[in-house]
Amino acid sequence: MTMLLALLLGYLLGSVPWGLLLTRAAGLGDVRAIGSGSIGATNVLRTGNKLLAAATLALDIAKGALALWLAGSLWGEQAGLAAGFGAVLGHAFPVWLGFKGGKSVATGGGVLLAAAWWLGLGAALVWLAMAFATRISSASSLTACVAAPVIALLAGRPDLALFSAGIAVLVAIRHHANIRRLLAGTEPRIGRKA
């Protein structure tokens, strides 16, 4: 029962659509109507408002970290991991938006940071390196997600490797259209305005 409560707590925290709320509050309309249709920071950046994109990124990271930390504090480490995964699910499939949310990269990053700072940092560094090399957010995100379980295994944490692999699978599923565009060579670059 505790694990189910933790998962639900994480889901509810993760389902807060910060990108949508911030763009609407700024008078920029519905961010789902532009670019990829996602509610995440990369799509918010397509509005041309870098400050809103940065705020979306920070809040999406924070909600993932908060979910894991809160449940972990209340019910222990395993419940924290359940809540973290729930937050990733909530961002990807928020009940408030007809289960059509974001790609869960920032929220997943926040979860990894809260689970083990070195794991989150390692994945973030891989993302940054790929973003610098390719200027393609989806390629950077997918590479970082694949790297996270490897980093955890190299650190001797098979439990976190399995956990981060679950997040990676979900992120890859949410990137199915991006993967098709990457293969076709038509995926947009970071910062391209919609």
Q: What is the pLDDT of residues 64-122, one digit of tens each?
A: 999 999 999 999 999 999 999 999 999 999 999 999 999 999 999 999 999 999 999 99
**Opening angle at CA 174, ends 168 and 176, nearest 5:** 105
Q: What is the pTM (predicted TM-score) of this model?
A: 0.92
Average pLDDT over residues 19-34: 93
